Amino acid sequence: MTIDVLAFAASPRRHGNSETLLDWVLAAMEAEGAAVEKIVIPEVDIRPCRGCNLCETLNRCVQRDYMDYVHDRIIAADCIVLASPIYCMGLAAQAKALVDRAQVFRSRKYVLHLPVVPPERKGKRMGIFLSTAGQNWDHVFDAAVPSVKCLFHVVDIKNNDIRYLMVNGVDEKGAIARHPTAKADAESLAREVVAHLREVGVA
């Protein structure tokens, strides 16, 4: 069975630093035999959460948009990758919209007490968060990480199965290509994740 990787590029700036980092990871995963799908969030119709809580009774979101497709792919994927730049000390709005729409999984899990994934798949899924920031501050990613952990938690990816690659000090478009270790780190991370998924019996 082939490892199924679902990736989200969240930056409104196409082919910028965070998407480049993502492409390096995905290329290395494909080289290891994984099947990869990349969704560019700004180019699809994923609307903000309305906060209506109807998912607590419907077991689905009341909105009909591209999230219908994304919902099913999130459940099916063995590895989910979210790549977002840091804007104003947090996730880009496009990434946050995806995180907020994961409310349906929270409702399913904690209100309706229904499974998100079958029991036999628990512990066999991984998440990756890739991010870039222009600032060199050590704390520039601190506000984004809890949102990312929330997303992965509600779709049954444990904290121990989340990997992070966050590169600061890359501001203008293309700066990531001049970073001394980013590409090698991305490729190493990809290989590690594929190896781990094989080890737990995904492929």
Taking only the tens place, the pLDDT of each residue in 22-67 is 999 999 999 999 999 999 999 999 999 999 999 999 999 999 999 9
CATH number of the domain within which 109 lies? 3.40.50.360
| Phi, psi dihedrals of residue 31, rounded to the nearest 5° | -65, -25
CA atoms within 13 A on the CB side of 112: 18
Taking only the tens place, the pLDDT of each residue in 120-133 is 998 999 999 999 99
Put simply, whether the predicted model's pTM sits higher than 0.85 gets the answer: yes
Taking only the tens place, the pLDDT of each residue in 58-104 is 999 999 999 999 999 999 999 999 999 999 999 999 999 999 999 99
Sign of the dihedral defined by the CA atoms of residues 177, 20, 142, 5, in that order:
negative
In the structure, what pLDDT confidence band is assigned to residue 1 with cuts at 50, 70 and 90?
Answer: confident
Collapsed DSSP state (helix, strand, coil) of residue 25: helix
Taking only the tens place, the pLDDT of each residue in 145-197 is 999 999 999 999 999 999 999 999 999 999 999 999 999 999 999 999 999 99
What total of structural domains would you count in the chain? 1
Q: Domain containing 162: what range?
A: 4-200
